[in-house]
Structure 1
Amino acid sequence: MKRTATMIFAALISLGVGCNVDTCAGEQCEQPNSSDDTNLDAHGTGTGAGENEEKVTAIGGVIRDSSTLAALQGVLISTEPPTGSVLTNASGEFVIDITSNPPLENLEGTTIRVNAEKVGYTSNFADLLVVKGQLAKADILMTQAATEFNIEVTPKDVEFVDGDFFGEDIAHKSITVKLVSSPNVQSATVSVEVPVEEAAWLSATPTQATLSGSPMTIVVTIDRTTIEDGTRTAEIRFTAAGATELTTLAVSYTRSDAGSGDGTDEADATDGSDVTDAADGSDATDGTEGADGDDAGVPDAELLVKIYGTAGDDAGHSSIVSPSSTIQLRGLVLGNPDSVIWENATTGQTGQAIGTPFWSADLVTVVEGPNYLTVTATRGDVSRTDSVLIIHNPSVAFEQRPTISPDQAFVGEPETLMVTAPMRFPTTDTPGPVGIWRVSDKGVKQGATPITDLLDNGNLSNCDEVQGDGVFSGCVLGFECTDEEYAYFALTTDVTIGTGANEKTFEAMSPLLRVECGKRIDVFECAEGQSLLKKAKEMWKTEVEKTGVAAPKPGSTEAAAIRDVVLDWVKAQPEVASAGSAMGDGSGLWVEFKGGFLGAVTLGDGGFRSGAGVAAAHAVASMSGTDSASPVEDILSKTALVLAPFHAEFSSNGGDEADVIAARLGESTCPTNAVDGAILSNEADLRHFRSQHQYGIVSITTHGEAFFGDMAAEVVTKWDWDHQGGQEVLWTGEDVVCDSFEDSDGPCSVDSDCDNGGDCIVTSTSGGRCVDRTQMDLRKGRLILTDLKWALAAPFVSRHTQLKFPKSLVYLGGCRTLYNGTLAAEYLAGGARAVFGYSGYVTSGFAYETGKAIFDLMVEQQLHTDQTFTQIPHVDPNTGARARLFGTGSLSISDASLINGNFEQSDLTGWNRSGDSRVIDRLGLENPVVGHYMALISTGLGFSNLMGEINQSFCIPAGKTSITYYWKFYSEEFKEFCGSKFQDGLEASLQGEQGALELENLHVDDLCHYEDGSCGACANPESGTCKCGSDYVGLTASDVQFDQGGAFMTPWQMKQHDITSFAGAGPVQLRFFIKDTVDSIYDTVILIDGVKFD
């Protein structure tokens, strides 16, 4: 059977045609299949009322297209005053029974306005006279909305300079093109026109493109071989039928190096060398390892290349879906490469990536389905490669990535995997099958049929928590790892696009889902390894004492000689498979144990944050390729994590800046920061390191080192590392306890129930079981065994970045944290925007002064990252190591305003959350009021029974006078439990120095009709003394059901409150939270959207 569904993704918008509005109402319109004396029963079906039957009072009618007179299904009908809301059926009909809606006596003989709304149509209305016991009828004609739109290009002008050519005669720059100004346009064909007289030197590709809801990339190319000295300018035109105005892109190029022929960048130093090279003009590194770095901004101790993704998805994912057949790859390269070459192994296409340290590869063509792409950086005989799988689904993108849980399994232990995938289907279609398949790492399906189908039915037996929330779910039963190879899965569904002769059905595939497989660690081998590392450190101390002098400085010749003595002993031990020294003649050493895990130990003076570097000119590597004149970028969360695993040691050896950093951030009022920390010593455990991605500011003061640069290539491939060279390593505060690997998968309800930093994977309403993250991290080379504490390698960061960092600022206060760039590469790929760290071995005194200065300047003086970097101490006078800033120079942590008030980040970025709180793009037929996403809080849906809350602290700018937001209330306690003790509710408040403003304090009874359930009769509904109905806005049966069924819902309610006294008066906290009184059996859901201040 053909598996077909017409699927709409968030990137696509309906297409309409402009026309005028017409309305007819009451007796002025012909009512097909009805007569004036037709009455309705309580279910809205036609009946002939007998003499003794009470006639029902109702409003109803038919909604039609004004041009074709075709009936319109799915039109939202609401009334003023509110009497309920419904959607029209397949015949365009609707009925709203207002017999029991209070107070009918006040409605009789009055006019009710009936509003009709539908995406792609202009809203219309009809005014009806209410007559008791009769049906007031309305035919409303709706006109398709206009299809006018604009084309927007970013940036609006492009300037080429000689430095863009990198010794070549061809240069490329990318611009983003998108449709704006009309939500009713699904797509448009755009022509890209270069003036004929400029075609010899200027071109743009593609020359014609179909734009949908997703932006696309146009590549502008300059060929300077035909240009002599001087400036050339041109305008590229973007035209499309229906565009309301002409869009142009200004392009200019000034050539000043014509005839030089040597490819030298004129911006370089006068000796022809790169300005960031060492002072003598020579290259500081050899492609593998070397001194602690010469450039203050760019870590370049070895060659490294990292793919961040495409222009539409640059979060470092290993597989990406693209709706476009032409993409722009982006990424990072370090170590002064001779070339950076990309290749699409699926098509054979290759090309050169342009730029350092942040490169882009334009005009990369992908074919329908999976495409395996690699990017290789080369210098001399050294090369490094990274890869990504690009899945091309024409015109379709998975805006939210599917998930699989748990995403790890130990060999021989069966698992039930839960798969969830946010998707959107047209409300007029029945959602078709979405299958989950086993696939290869290249996206090739394995087997003839899918493992199972994913459903959105709210049935926990197939792992779906909420019916109709657009999240399709399924259970993969009995999955078992048979070896340590990764297991890959993908979702597929047949998608139909276009109409008529242009209709096409193809199979859309999701990004790949990975389950990593590994053998459990032998507890004895773990303990044996830790014992060896302790002996190695004691041996170091003994050898130092033999010299009769003070401990040698890390990185010195004396330290290296003693390290080699210890290393020779380590290599001779029976449990050791291989071993080596820290990079660049560092003082520490690493071990590969035969048990299949890694260890490391630092060998140095306690006054250092590891156990020497040289330096050159100050430079800031900017992600955008611009300087401090770039637009300011604000972090997207006012939360901060300050970790200080070695606080006592550092404090007694020059200081630990963690105390000052936490204090500065906590003392700030506008912005007001929610600071976790400083978290000291053992409390700075692996669970905190795994949660870094949740914070806008991350500060870690710890020991650091760079290891594994001399590891054999065949050994490197054993670990979960993208980079095939050395790894920067950070120490945590969590003690190594090998015995914790036993019985680490016990029952749990929350993460804190799990020992050893495990996650609680909830698989039923009664709880779940623990997943041992620590053991798998050690097996995969992301965690490193040491003599005392766990240490983490750079890939640990990306492995545990569940969501993107909210444009975070990261401070790594340890030795060699920006040595070869592996840590920064993972942080930046994960969404962080700037990383401060150190090129080499630093003393605690220097790190204290530098870290303190960074946050003094950024918090108290509200400087950007590059402004801050110019004013901090740069060189440790004891070691020569340098402070470094890597990332954007325009990042600010000073924005005090509300973040993500309309939830368009597609998650709860900027908000603090607890319990069942999430962001969805629909609930049943209900769409967000503003944009594409809305928040949901509940009393505990599906596997959860925790009350939902979202809150955020911020400052309201002076001059603002009101807060506006929307809510919609669903509950299984309507109407049966109206008037009872079961009273779920919504509370919202704004709390500041001026006191508290109650925004909402609603309970089920407030929203019930005064005669629903056990509310009882009310002689005088207008008195306000009825038991129920004080905030009644109408209730209709919900089109989605929760676990008990029978839910009702209110219409969307827009609320506005005066907040003048809070504006410009310091920090406030905005809270939305749900209450469950007496029971936790019957569920309640609140939707929230469009929070803003005016």
Structure 2
Amino acid sequence: MFRRMEIVLLVVFIGLAVSRCGDDQSETKIEFTTSLIVSPDTVFVGCLNAAECQVTVRITLDRPAAKVFLQRMSSADGGTVLGQVGELVDDGDAAGHGDDIAGDLVYSTIITLNEVSAGYVYLQAVVGDAESSVSSVGVLAHMTDEDWTKVTQTIPDLAKACYDTNPDLNVAKTCIETIDGIRVAGIGEQGSGIWYVYDNGILGGVLPTEIDAPDADSGTDMNRKGGRATSSSRANAYQAPADNRWGQLVAALDEFKDPDAIGSKSAIYLGPYLWDFGAADDYSGAWDLIKKSVCPKFETQEIKNDTNLSRNVTPDSFKNLSNHGIIIISTHGDNWYNGLFSLWNDLWGDQAGTAPNYTIPFFADLSWPVLLTGYKTTDDIGRIYEADLLQHRIAITASRTYVITPAFVRRYNSTFPESIVYLGSCRSAYNSTLADAFLEKGAAAVVGYSDYVYAGWAKRHGEALFGPDPRNFAKNSMLPLTDPDNEKTTVQSIKDAFDDAVANYGEVTNSTAPHGAGDGTNGAYDAADPEPARIVLFPAATKTNLNVPPIINGGFEKGSTAGWTSTGDYRVLSAIGDVTPTDGTFMAIISTGLGTYGGGLTESVVQQTMCLPAKVKSVRFQYNMLTEEAMCWVGSAYDDTFKAELVDKDGVILSEGASESVNSSAWTFLGGDMFADGDDFSTPQKCTDDQGNESYGDGTYHTGWKDGELDVSSHAGTKEPVTLRFRIWDEGDSIWDSAATLDSVELELEEE
């Protein structure tokens, strides 16, 4: 459906608040099934445009409520009520109230915050006597154009000059501390970088080997991922044989479910410096193995910079990593800001805590590992990341490059589906601070490096984690692997794979390993270093593996979209009007563009690729199509359609298990005004179609829940991946919307 799109700040509640009693019209207790989140969680003083002041607030309940109010509080712990600022409604009015779907138990409203000074706004939702947790909205003051240039260009250039002209780190640090606009500086913990903090609280630092252009794409493994380096050679580097068997990573899955498996078959690679690391990048190591895996077949997404002028990777690329079960990040890195936790309040005095940029971002004196994005401050023409800079989620290097901090990971990711995260950068595992940001959000395992490493040393270890040793084709692999001798499948946990990688290539960079330094085993910058770089696994004893079942989250009971990939509008909810899940608490919905997903969207697809074990007979599921087209447009060109299909790797349809359309299906009235900007009648009303015929319609109709089934027996046990696909699309135009709910997607076995 075409409609105007408003840019708003989003507040979403996603945890659990205690309900003490119901509203004043019922004794039934109403509970918040979510807690308060703000996204984005900042507004600016002065409001240069409406988007900087508007805040959309949403909360989900466990049942309908007569009244849900939003109130402003005096402090983060509640304090006193400063007054009501709005009423949250579940009416499907996206433009007016920010509510996407009527009757889905998500209550929303749009408020305007015209703040005159920097600080915080505290909000809380109330239903009767039940109160949600309190959430804060940060209020920031814009930097002037002069200050923006100083922060993003002038000071970084001066800091770089200090570092380049002073080999002694202490002298370089002192030089940086004298720069106008710098409050404090320090040397990276046991490192060769220097960090600093601006007067306005923005974080910065010098990473000396951010760009290693002279040997880019050279095929050597001496490209540095951070820190100072010694010269060396890789003339005798090991090369995988031409007939290596990486492409034979196939397996019959004997068990449908492994409790230690990752929760999604979606994988992503981020490579800001692929142009720099060249053949030594993880792109041609671990990532290549993942792409070539057959069973399971991972749905892969890669974002990379092939040249030094590419800007495909941005800070936004590091958002929503929680959509993936495997995350591979190959970049430069370092660790900064050690000791700032203790210094912060003294440095900013009475300003400390008064606004987001003056609020301490650290939990302890531990340093923060940071990841470079490759995106320059001069690329940020519209100051897109000004708020993130002031909130300490992004820092700036002396080469004018944005870096990601642990605070960024926490802010812009939801719950990871028991993911494996590989951080192929220097010092990414110097301590657990960055790993904790992922683990606290649900990641199951994080691998990184404790110190400065060469790209080739890191690549070799990353490769060994995911695949077998190419020199002797070891029978064990974290990727499901068919042994070429006896077809026996052996699937390792990441812990076992980690131990094998250490055994084959060494745990530390100055160790003497069986295969010698010529293949990247010796990646140390200084062989005499008493604490050389190590490959590190968090948590050390995790059993996480890649033995994923054919169908993940088939009942959508994770309460999230985990396990499925999609285009268009796909989400998980607990109700839409009188339509509730057939089993459990949650169901999925895809649409032609409900609420904020409108604006020209005409088709949505949700799918999952799988290898079908032997003796699988069919894929069974339940579905319900909803539409605003019926009944007025039945028999017309506006024949919105839903289908369930099984397709091969080339997209060829192998079988069809369900098909509904406006013209061919039987419809039952569900309600009116359920979709934003749709029909607004609570009972069927007369309407006239484009042929002048009168009929009763003008509302939202549905087919009711139906059983669907796809015959997959001919593909079971073939080790050929197939994709289960549900899709819905507009036919004729996109004025009225349609949707389909899904539940209980599962495999049916042949009878013994």
Which TM-score bucket, shorter chain as reference? 0.7 to 0.9
Between 1:913-922 and 1:724-733, the stretch displaced more is 724-733
Alignment of 1:794-943 (within 5 A): 794-801=406-413, 803-856=414-467, 857-859=477-479, 861=481, 862-872=491-501, 873-877=506-510, 878=524, 879=526, 880-887=532-539, 889-943=542-596
Are 1:611 and 2:227 matched, yes or no? yes
CA 449–775 in structure 1, closer or farther in 2 if over 3 Å, else same: closer
CA distance in structure 2 between the partners assigned to 1:408 and 1:788 by the alignment:
24
Q: Which residue of 1 aligns with 2:92?
A: 458
Asked whether the equivalents of residues 30 and 62 of structure 2 are also in contact (C-alpha less than 8 Å), the reply is no
1 or 2, which has the higher strand percentage? Answer: 1
Q: How many residues align?
A: 602
Match of 1:483 among 117, 124, 137: 117
* Residue identity opposite 2:500 in structure 1: Q
Are 1:533 and 2:156 matched, yes or no? yes
Asked whether the equivalents of residues 626 and 703 of structure 2 are also in contact (C-alpha less than 8 Å), the reply is yes
User: SS in structure 1 opposite 2:171?
Assistant: helix
User: SS in structure 2 opposite 1:854?
Assistant: helix
CA shift, 1:648, in A, is 3.0
Are 1:672 and 2:297 matched, yes or no? yes
Q: Which residue of 1 aligns with 2:219?
A: none
CA shift, 1:697, in A, is 0.9
CA distance in structure 1 between the partners assigned to 2:738 and 2:672 by the alignment:
14
User: SS in structure 2 opposite 1:451?
Assistant: strand
CA distance in structure 2 between the partners assigned to 1:411 and 1:709 by the alignment:
32
Q: Which residue of 2 aligns with 1:548?
A: none
CA 404–823 in structure 1, closer or farther in 2 if over 3 Å, else same: closer
Are 1:723 and 2:723 matched, yes or no? no
CA shift, 1:848, in A, is 1.8
CA distance in structure 2 between the partners assigned to 1:634 and 1:1053 by the alignment:
31
CA distance in structure 2 between the partners assigned to 1:398 and 1:848 by the alignment:
46
CA distance in structure 2 between the partners assigned to 1:728 and 1:934 by the alignment:
39
CA distance in structure 1 between the partners assigned to 2:200 and 2:674 by the alignment:
51
Match of 2:321 among 686, 692, 695: 692
CA shift, 1:864, in A, is 0.5
TM-score (norm 1): 0.52
Between 1:640-649 and 1:811-820, the stretch displaced more is 640-649
Cα distance per residue 1:254-286 (max 9 Å; x no partner): xxxxxxxxxxxxxxxxxxxxxxxxxxxxxxxxx
Q: Which residue of 2 aligns with 1:1041?
A: 674
Q: Which residue of 2 aligns with 1:651?
A: 278
Name the Cα RMSD after superposition. Answer: 2.8
CA distance in structure 1 between the partners assigned to 2:182 and 2:85 by the alignment:
42
CA distance in structure 2 between the partners assigned to 1:1044 and 1:420 by the alignment:
23
Q: Which residue of 2 aligns with 1:971?
A: 627
Match of 1:425 among 63, 67, 71: 63
Q: Which residue of 2 aligns with 1:733?
A: 373
CA shift, 1:474, in A, is 1.2
CA 448–487 in structure 1, closer or farther in 2 if over 3 Å, else same: closer
Match of 2:42 among 408, 413, 421: 408
CA shift, 1:1091, in A, is 1.0
Asked whether the equivalents of residues 898 and 955 of structure 1 are also in contact (C-alpha less than 8 Å), the reply is no
CA 999–567 in structure 1, closer or farther in 2 if over 3 Å, else same: same
Are 1:997 and 2:655 matched, yes or no? yes
CA 930–937 in structure 1, closer or farther in 2 if over 3 Å, else same: same
Asked whether the equivalents of residues 634 and 892 of structure 1 are also in contact (C-alpha less than 8 Å), the reply is yes
CA shift, 1:896, in A, is 4.1
User: SS in structure 1 opposite 2:739?
Assistant: strand
CA 658–930 in structure 1, closer or farther in 2 if over 3 Å, else same: same
Kindly indicate whether structure 1 or structure 2 has the higher relative contact order, using CA contacts under 8 Å at least 6 residues apart: 2
* Residue identity opposite 1:602 in structure 2: L
Asked whether the equivalents of residues 17 and 131 of structure 2 are also in contact (C-alpha less than 8 Å), the reply is no
CA distance in structure 2 between the partners assigned to 1:961 and 1:1040 by the alignment:
41
CA distance in structure 1 between the partners assigned to 2:362 and 2:184 by the alignment:
21
* Residue identity opposite 1:521 in structure 2: M
CA shift, 1:396, in A, is 6.8
CA shift, 1:319, in A, is 9.8
Alignment of 1:546-585 (within 5 A): 562-584=168-190
* Residue identity opposite 2:656 in structure 1: E
CA distance in structure 2 between the partners assigned to 1:423 and 1:834 by the alignment:
33
* Residue identity opposite 1:831 in structure 2: G
CA distance in structure 2 between the partners assigned to 1:905 and 1:632 by the alignment:
14
CA 850–441 in structure 1, closer or farther in 2 if over 3 Å, else same: farther
Cα distance per residue 1:34-90 (max 9 Å; x no partner): xxxxxxxxxxxxxxxxxxxxxxxxxxxxxxxxxxxxxxxxxxxxxxxxxxxxxxxxx
* Residue identity opposite 2:606 in structure 1: I
CA distance in structure 2 between the partners assigned to 1:318 and 1:920 by the alignment:
14
CA distance in structure 2 between the partners assigned to 1:776 and 1:1037 by the alignment:
44
Cα distance per residue 1:504-548 (max 9 Å; x no partner): xxx21223333222222344334334333334434444445xxxx
Of all paired residues, the percent bearing the same amino acid is 27
CA distance in structure 1 between the partners assigned to 2:636 and 2:653 by the alignment:
33
CA distance in structure 2 between the partners assigned to 1:936 and 1:720 by the alignment:
41
CA distance in structure 1 between the partners assigned to 2:362 and 2:33 by the alignment:
25
Gaps of 5+ in 2: 1-11, 22-27, 213-222, 230-257, 353-357, 468-476, 482-490, 511-523, 527-531, 681-698
Are 1:779 and 2:417 matched, yes or no? no
User: SS in structure 2 opposite 1:735?
Assistant: strand
CA shift, 1:741, in A, is 5.2
CA distance in structure 1 between the partners assigned to 2:736 and 2:419 by the alignment:
40
CA shift, 1:934, in A, is 0.9
Q: Which residue of 1 aligns with 2:194?
A: 589
User: SS in structure 1 opposite 2:595?
Assistant: coil
Match of 2:134 among 512, 517, 541: 512
CA shift, 1:582, in A, is 0.8
CA distance in structure 1 between the partners assigned to 2:84 and 2:161 by the alignment:
57
CA distance in structure 2 between the partners assigned to 1:822 and 1:815 by the alignment:
14
* Residue identity opposite 1:451 in structure 2: V
Q: Which residue of 1 aligns with 2:733?
A: 1079
Q: Which residue of 1 aligns with 2:262?
A: 635
CA distance in structure 2 between the partners assigned to 1:923 and 1:563 by the alignment:
61
Q: Which residue of 2 aligns with 1:962?
A: 618
* Residue identity opposite 1:858 in structure 2: M
CA distance in structure 2 between the partners assigned to 1:725 and 1:448 by the alignment:
36
CA 457–588 in structure 1, closer or farther in 2 if over 3 Å, else same: same
CA 940–837 in structure 1, closer or farther in 2 if over 3 Å, else same: same
CA distance in structure 2 between the partners assigned to 1:912 and 1:698 by the alignment:
15
Asked whether the equivalents of residues 989 and 999 of structure 1 are also in contact (C-alpha less than 8 Å), the reply is yes
TM-score (norm 2): 0.75
CA distance in structure 2 between the partners assigned to 1:693 and 1:891 by the alignment:
16
CA shift, 1:826, in A, is 0.8
User: SS in structure 2 opposite 1:1071?
Assistant: strand
Cα distance per residue 1:189-211 (max 9 Å; x no partner): xxxxxxxxxxxxxxxxxxxxxxx
User: SS in structure 2 opposite 1:514?
Assistant: strand
CA shift, 1:719, in A, is 4.4
Cα distance per residue 1:421-442 (max 9 Å; x no partner): 122326xxxx321111112444
CA 818–441 in structure 1, closer or farther in 2 if over 3 Å, else same: farther
Asked whether the equivalents of residues 613 and 717 of structure 2 are also in contact (C-alpha less than 8 Å), the reply is yes
Are 1:1062 and 2:715 matched, yes or no? yes
Q: Which residue of 2 aligns with 1:471?
A: 106
Gaps of 5+ in 1: 1-316, 325-367, 370-393, 495-506, 545-561, 614-630, 745-771, 1008-1031
